[in-house]
Structure formats: C-alpha cells, structure tokens
Structure 1
Amino acid sequence: MAARTKARKRALELLFEAEQRGVNVGTLLEERIAAPTTQHPLPEYAVQLVRGVLEHWGEINETLTTYSQGWSLERMAAVDRAALRLGTWEIVWNDQVPDGVAISEAVALVQDMSTDDSPRFVNGLLARVLEIKPTLV
C-alpha cells in the first residue's frame, strides 16, 4: 500500500474515531501525535490531511450539505462523511494531489470500509465538488 494511501486511511480512522467518541478532532489529533497508540506514529500526510479538514471544516460541511442532493451530513454513514471531508479538502485545497487521485482514493476507502452503495455515492458527490471547485477557492 502506498504511503499516502496509508496516511489517508489513518486520517479517516482518526476523523471517524473522534466522531464516534464525541471528542474534538483537533484534540484527538494532538493526543495521537504526542502519544501514538500504535507502534507507528501518524504519518505526516495524515496529520496534514486532518489539519486541512479542520481548517476548512465549515466550508467542507457546507459544500457537502449543499451538493449531496437530499442527504444531510447526519444521514450519511460516518465513514462516508470522513472520506468525503478528506476528499473535498484534497480536491479544493491541496494542489499536490491530482483531483482524480483524490476521488479514487476516497472511493477506495469507502469501498473497503463502508456500505455497498458508498463508493457510488462518494464518487458522485466528489465529482460534483470537482465541477464546482473554481467557485470554492
């Protein structure tokens, strides 16, 4: 598995865990940086991803809510929400990752970790984010 793919998975797990435990994502991130819970510390790209999502949290959530066509953030599967937040940040605010790669990676995450319908849903919503990207930056 490529280093950035692993980092995306770790970032998704952190976002998911914070939501499930009802704790602040930023606080959990700083705890994991200071005292990793595995023998491997968080990859730097995972930290960058989570910090990027946190920095643009409101904008990301507003975008996903606006373009998800009938699906509120609360109705989405938690894993899908986390993957969509990561994918949106990579598409809109990270110029170092090709947009198609960001979408493919988000789809692969939910394919492995969420429902059978999730890959199509995540692909469609992130494709819409890509279409409107010029209006978001």
Structure 2
Amino acid sequence: MAARTKARKRALELLFEAEQRGVNVGTLLEERLAAPTTQHPLPEYAVELVRGVLAHWSTIDETLTTYSQGWTLGRMAAVDRAALRLGTWEIVWNDQVPDEVAIAEAVALVETMSTDDSPKFVNGLLARVSEVKATLV
C-alpha cells in the first residue's frame, strides 16, 4: 500500500473515531501526536489531511450538504462522511493531488470500510465537488 494511501486510511480512522467517541477531532489528533497508540506514529500526510479538514470543516460540510442531493450529512454513513471530508479537502485545497486520484482514493476507502452502495455515492458526490471547486475557494 502506498504511503499516501496508508495516510488517508489513518486520517479516516481518526475522523471516524472522534465522531464515534463524541470527541473533538483536533483534540484527538493532538493526543495521538503526543502519545501514539500504535508502534507507528501518524504519517505526516495523515496529520496534514486532518488539519486541512479541520481548517475548512464548515465549508466542506456545507459543500457536501449542498451537492449530496437529498442526503443530509447525518443520514450518511459515518465512514462515508469521513471519506467525503478528506476527499473534498484534497480536491479543493490540495493542488498536489489530482482530483481523479483524490476521488479514487476516497472510493477505495469506502469500498473496504463501508456499505455496498457507498463507492457509487462517494464517487458521484466528489465528482460534483471537483466540478464546482472553483466556486469554493
């Protein structure tokens, strides 16, 4: 597994864990940086991803809500929400990652970690985010 792919998975796990535990993502991130819970500390790109999502949280959620066509954030699976937030940040604010790669990586995450319908949903929503990203920055 490529380094950035692993980092995306770790970032998704952190976002998911924070939501499930009802704790602040930023606080959880700082705790994990200060005292890693595994032998391997969080990859630098995972930290960049989480911090990027945190910096643009409200815009990301507003964008996902606007373009999800009938799906509220609360109705989405938690793993899908996390993958969509990461993918949206990469598409809109990270010029080093091509949109197609960000979309494919988010889809791959939900293929292994979410429902059977999730890949199509995530792919469609992130494709729309890619189309409108110029209006978001």
Instruction: Return 5+ residue gaps in structure 2 as ranges.
Output: none
Deviation (angstroms), 1:131: 0.6
Instruction: Give distance in 1, aligned partners of 2:122 and 2:112.
Output: 13
Counterpart of 2:81?
Answer: 81
Deviation (angstroms), 1:111: 0.2
Letter in 2 for 1:63: T
TM-score (norm 1): 1.00
The superposition leaves residues 88-133 of structure 1 with CA deviations (integer Å, 9 ceiling, x where unpaired) of 0000000010110000000000000000000000000000000101
Runs of 4+ in 1 over 4 A off after TM superposition: none
Counterpart of 1:19?
Answer: 19
Counterpart of 2:132?
Answer: 132
Letter in 2 for 1:62: E
Matches within 5 A, 1:1-137: 1-137=1-137
Instruction: Give distance in 1, aligned partners of 2:133 and 2:56.
Output: 14
Instruction: Return 5+ residue gaps in structure 1 as ranges.
Output: none
Instruction: Give distance in 1, aligned partners of 2:131 and 2:95.
Output: 16
Letter in 1 for 2:43: P
Instruction: Give distance in 2, aligned partners of 1:98 and 1:134.
Output: 14
Instruction: Give distance in 1, aligned partners of 2:131 and 2:96.
Output: 18
Aligned length: 137
Deviation (angstroms), 1:14: 0.1
Alpha-carbon RMSD across the aligned residues, in angstroms, is 0.3
DSSP 3-state at the match of 1:107: helix
